[in-house]
Structure 1
Amino acid sequence: MAADDAAKIAALNDAARTTLTGCRVVITQGIANLGDVGQIFERVTSYTDFNQQNDPHGEHDFGSFECAGQLVFWKFDYYDLDLLMHSPDPTDPTVTCRVLTVMLAQEY
């Protein structure tokens, strides 16, 4: 993927993640069972620890942190608008539905 595309995707992902708009948000049962979902989403929306280990393509599409003694993952997937297949172009919000999933690492 071209660096320009990665930068566009990162900007769209950052906007969606920090505002929880422009995407669908899914939490797993494990996250729901932790109890303080608000605290978890505060950590997701304020996440800035992107590095070569967790963001090798520069798309800001994954992060992890510990909460209540559990390792939490969040990640983006890109689907077509009907949510039937992958997006034809994740840089184009007019043809892409971003899905932000927040889960326990053990649920991945």
Structure 2
Amino acid sequence: MTEDDHTAAIAVLNDACRAEPGALWVLTPGVQALPKADQAKAVAAVSDFADFSEANDPHGERDFGAFEVGGERLFWKIDYYDLDLCMASPDPADPAITKRVLTLMLAQEY
């Protein structure tokens, strides 16, 4: 697999993570404190996020985004762990050995 193919595979898996209701998402305390309607808008914004550019996605993995909801700036990011969630995954392009964790946070919590 070429480096470009590897990156493309990671991007596809990250897109699936953002769109998959059963994926492992972590909402930080700041996001949990938002009104429920804003929380729902924020989750939808992550799922629908498509504003990737060189500035926010320099590696082409589609693993980070920023947006605003209800006057708050929010960030989301995806981290890659082994299946036990103890260490980093040795290969984020391989879903058989990688568990993705998406964290949704207020920008000030970063």
State the TM-score, normalizing by the size of structure 1. 0.94
Q: State the match for 2:28 in structure 1.
A: 28
Shift of 1:19: 2.2
Where does structure 2 lack aligned partners over 5 or more consecutive residues? Answer: none
Partner Cα separation in structure 2 for residue 59 and residue 47 of structure 1: 13
Shift of 1:82: 0.7
Aligned with residue 71 of structure 2, among 69, 89, 100? 69
Q: State the match for 2:85 in structure 1.
A: 83
Q: State the match for 1:17 in structure 2.
A: 18
Query: For 2:33, what is the secondary structure of its paired residue?
Result: helix
Query: 1:95 aligned to 2:97?
Result: yes
Where does structure 1 lack aligned partners over 5 or more consecutive residues? Answer: none
Identity over aligned pairs, percent:
53
Q: State the match for 2:109 in structure 1.
A: 107
Query: For 1:34, what is the secondary structure of its paired residue?
Result: coil
Q: Which amino acid aligns with 2:72?
A: Q
Calculate the aligned-residue CA RMSD, in Å.
1.2
Partner Cα separation in structure 1 for residue 10 and residue 53 of structure 2: 16
- Tell me the number of residue pairs that the alignment of Structure 1 and Structure 2 aligns: 107
Q: Which amino acid aligns with 1:88?
A: P
State the TM-score, normalizing by the size of structure 2. 0.92
